[in-house]
């Protein structure tokens, strides 16, 4: 069947409208590249790959943290932390705002009904009178006069109506509404990624606070053991000073060591209380005493190994990087919305209803009514407002690109720093352990030589101070190792499950 010319002409506006409906003035999104190297640093301070290790983003936090008490503490925080609840509320708000914006893609259909009662001044007189005079001929023209009289009763006019329709629905020919909807959707996605980032950060902060408290428990134990040793030395030198065997200098130096350990105990005791307060804040509730750490030592709180030779593109899956990218895409869509404002805006108002002078005839035959009122507006003189809105949107996109690249660079630096520390932390711990062992042996030998009269008491005191400091440094280095593996897991974007 061949389409007639008239049908072609009638189909052209529909075809044109369909083509225009697909217009999108937003620039094509291209993901920025080149902000960071393709590979993370290797060699030197960076450890070689660990055979069989899996990527951090493939490990759920329950698998990564192997200590049961720590796992329970993290779960407590995920259920009660207020910052995480706030992030969740922001996600719900962003989703609702997106749905509000998406509703503009569709016409809002509303129903209305009403009645109008009007008192006519003409009808209020009780009647109407008129006269007329006329003549006529066969031509069918003429004028005439006559007299009529009518009564309208009370003169009240009653009108009942019911309508359903749409009001000022924007026909999105140039994609303004669609781009605003896309921007709202990307902001929603960005808020979701922010919530995921907050969740990962919370897990890492709880783990860091937990191992910090464990390390302080070790420091307190060392300080108490050392205080006992210093107290014995002080007792011995005081007795010797009284009988004239030891000098006052030796007695004062022994007392100095004793007071140092005594002060350390008070300081560390307060620090442990603060550690617990920090842990309670992160957990959003009081952490039960049964879950609190007793010591750090050599206990394994996490899995031992993470990969060292991952590619830098793993950082593209970090929630904060994804958040920045979604915000960039949203700004890209805003450019399309700003450009669409340069073109005509077409809106449509239409109603379908019924109208009657009697309520009983409202839905009767012949009472149907309808109206269609399309309108269009085109800015002519806006003194550059719309053009500068486009420029502003383009500048905001440039800022979003810079933010995205900066976020990626910060992520790269965090992972590189954590890997550099991980590559050397094992050697540091081994050296600290050897130093602490040697210092303890030296302290025992020095004390024996002093008691045998070979060395002076000052040599023994110095050896005791060295052993005390070496044990403290060992705990600090072990804490650094535990915190490093947690930081590496966080910086690689772990904890997504």
For 461-486, the pLDDT digits (tens) are 889 999 999 999 999 999 999 999 99
Q: In this structure, what are the phi and psi dihedrals at residue 478, rounded to the nearest 5 degrees?
A: -65, -40
**pLDDT reported for residue 135:** 41
Give Rg (Cα) of the chain: 42
When pLDDT is cut at 50, 70 and 90, the band that residue 15 belongs to is very low
More reliable by pLDDT, 406 or 458: 406
Task: Give, in degrees to the nearest 5, the angle at Cα 325 between 324 and 326.
Answer: 95
Question: What are 262-282's pLDDT values in tens digits?
Answer: 999 999 999 999 999 999 999
Q: How far is CA 147 from CA 122, 130, 144, 220, 466, in A?
A: 18, 5, 10, 119, 131
Question: What are 137-186's pLDDT values in tens digits?
Answer: 433 333 344 433 333 445 778 888 888 988 888 888 899 999 999 999 99
Place of tokens 């004793």: 258
Distance CA 284, CA 83 (A): 9
Q: Copy the structure tokens of residue 231.
A: 């107290």
Between 68-80 and 176-242, two packed helices, what is the crossing angle to 10 degrees?
130
DSSP single-letter state for residue 35: S
Bridge pairing between strands 135-136 and 368-377: unpaired
Distance CA 297, CA 266 (A): 21
Percent of the chain with pLDDT over 70: 84
Question: What are 61-86's pLDDT values in tens digits?
Answer: 888 999 999 999 999 999 999 999 99
**pLDDT reported for residue 369:** 86
The superfamily in CATH containing domain 24-108+174-342+387-491 is Outer membrane efflux proteins (OEP) (1.20.1600.10)
Q: Which of 475, 472, 494 is nearest to 485 (CA)?
A: 494
Q: Copy the structure tokens of residue 225.
A: 């053991």
Q: Copy the structure tokens of residue 488.
A: 């590496």
Instruction: Kindly tell me the number of DSSP H helices and DSSP E strands found in the chain.
Output: 9, 8
Q: Copy the structure tokens of residue 77.
A: 């925080």
**pLDDT reported for residue 170:** 87
Helix then strand then coil, in percent of the chain rounded to 5, is 60, 15, 25
Question: What are 282-323's pLDDT values in tens digits?
Answer: 999 999 999 999 999 888 898 877 655 567 788 888 999 999
Distance CA 393, CA 314 (A): 30
DSSP E strands, 63-190: 109-119, 128-130, 135-136, 142-143, 148-150, 156-171
More reliable by pLDDT, 322 or 7: 322
**pLDDT reported for residue 358:** 75
Question: What are 82-113's pLDDT values in tens digits?
Answer: 999 999 999 999 999 999 999 988 888 888 88
Question: 137-151, 193-207, 225-239 — which is least confidently predicted?
Answer: 137-151
Coil vs helix vs strand at 252: helix
Question: What are 234-254's pLDDT values in tens digits?
Answer: 898 888 888 888 888 888 989
Coil vs helix vs strand at 135: strand
Question: 31-40, 136-145, 440-449 — which is least confidently predicted?
Answer: 136-145
| Residues ≥6 apart with Cβ < 8 Å to 123 | 152, 153, 154, 155, 156, 157
Distance CA 165, CA 137 (A): 53
When pLDDT is cut at 50, 70 and 90, the band that residue 47 belongs to is confident
Average pLDDT value over all residues in the chain? 84
């Amino acid at each position: 069947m061949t389409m007639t010319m008239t049908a072609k002409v009638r189909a052209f506006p529909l075809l044109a409208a369909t083509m225009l409906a697909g217009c999108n003035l937003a620039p094509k999104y291209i993901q920025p590249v080149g902000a960071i190297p393709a590979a993370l640093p290797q060699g030197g301070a960076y450890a070689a790959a660990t055979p069989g290790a899996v990527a951090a983003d493939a490990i759920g936090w329950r698998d990564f943290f192997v200590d049961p008490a720590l796992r329970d503490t993290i779960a407590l925080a995920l259920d009660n932390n207020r910052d995480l609840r706030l992030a969740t509320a922001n996600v719900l708000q962003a989703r609702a705002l997106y749905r509000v914006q998406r509703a503009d893609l569709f016409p809002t259909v509303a129903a209305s009904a009403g009645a109008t009662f009007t008192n006519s001044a003409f009808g209020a007189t009780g009647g109407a009178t008129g006269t007329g005079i006329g003549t006529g001929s066969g031509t069918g023209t003429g004028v005439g006069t006559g007299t009529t009289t009518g009564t309208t009763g009370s003169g009240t006019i009653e009108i009942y109506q019911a309508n359903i329709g749409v009001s000022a629905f924007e026909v999105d020919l140039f994609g303004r509404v669609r781009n605003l909807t896309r921007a709202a959707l990307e902001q929603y996605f960005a808020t979701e990624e922010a919530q995921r980032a907050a969740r990962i950060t919370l897990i890492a902060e709880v783990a860091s606070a937990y191992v910090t408290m464990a390390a302080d428990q070790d420091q307190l134990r060392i300080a108490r053991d050392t205080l006992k040793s210093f107290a014995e030395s002080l007792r011995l030198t005081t007795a010797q000073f009284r009988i004239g065997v030891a000098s006052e200098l030796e007695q004062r130096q022994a007392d100095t060591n004793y007071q140092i350990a005594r002060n350390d105990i008070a300081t560390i005791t307060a620090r442990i209380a603060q550690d617990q307060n920090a842990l309670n804040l992160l957990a959003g509730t009081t952490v039960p005493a049964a879950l609190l750490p007793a010591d750090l030592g050599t206990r394994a709180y996490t899995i031992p190994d993470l990969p060292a030779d991952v590619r830098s593109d793993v950082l593209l899956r970090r929630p904060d990087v994804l958040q920045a990218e979604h915000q960039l895409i949203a700004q890209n869509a805003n450019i399309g919305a700003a450009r669409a404002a340069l073109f005509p805006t077409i809106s449509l108002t239409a109603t379908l209803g019924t109208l009657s002078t009697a309520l009983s005839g409202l839905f009767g035959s012949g009472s149907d009514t309808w109206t269609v009122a399309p309108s269009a507006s085109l800015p002519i003189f806006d003194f550059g407002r719309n053009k500068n809105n486009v420029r502003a949107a383009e500048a905001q996109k440039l800022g979003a690109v810079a933010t995205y690249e900066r976020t990626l660079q910060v992520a790269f630096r965090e992972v590189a720093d954590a890997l550099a520390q991980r590559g050397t932390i094992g050697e540091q711990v081994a050296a600290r352990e050897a130093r602490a062992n040697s210092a303890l042996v030296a302290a025992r030998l020095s004390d024996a030589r002093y008691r045998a009269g070979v060395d002076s008491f000052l040599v023994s005191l110095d050896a005791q101070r060295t052993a005390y400091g070496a044990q403290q440094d060992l705990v600090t280095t072990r804490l650094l190792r535990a915190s490093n593996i947690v930081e590496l897991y966080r910086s690689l974007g772990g904890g997504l499950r």
